[in-house]
Amino acid sequence: MEQTLILIKPDAIEKRLTGVILSRLEALGLDIAGAKVVCATEALLREHYANLKGTAFVDGVVKFMMGDYNHLPDHRLYAFVLRGENAIARVRAALGATNPEKADPWTLRGQFGCIKEGVMQNAVHASGSPQDAAREIALWFKPEEVLK
């Protein structure tokens, strides 16, 4: 059974889209194996986005994920572990392209994402591979917080 990390991002939280996003992902037949509200620190986000280290846009991504481009009173994110057969591919297909302007309109990012003030706001993160999922889930969840 494959697992994937889902992060509901500040733009979706501000627009109160968490329930819609989760409902659409659950409709894929996936189970929620872990869920929590996280006040993301800069250190945690930099570790999560380690693959972007040294790029021109990593600071903007971290700033966005900390809610600095939205009107949230904290650095809140909603983290989920979803599991099921081919969970990663199924979730990524439902999300659409990372850039919401290139995502098909029926996908979550196509429907709810935008580029605002030069910042890509794409509503939700999902792991890109089984290796990414294992690393990311270990960053965001303690082992006992995820159902086996």
Residues involved in catalysis: 125
Task: Please name the residues in contact with 66: beta carbons below 8 A apart, sequence gap of 6 or more.
Answer: 10, 40, 42, 45, 75
- Written as one letter, the residue type at 61 is V
The residue written with tokens 């250190």 in the block is 43
Asked if 4 and 91 touch (Cβ cutoff 8 Å), the reply is: yes
Asked if 5 and 140 touch (Cβ cutoff 8 Å), the reply is: yes
**6: which 2 tokens?**
């889902």
The residue written with tokens 């700033």 in the block is 63
Sign of CA dihedral 47, 50, 55, 58: negative
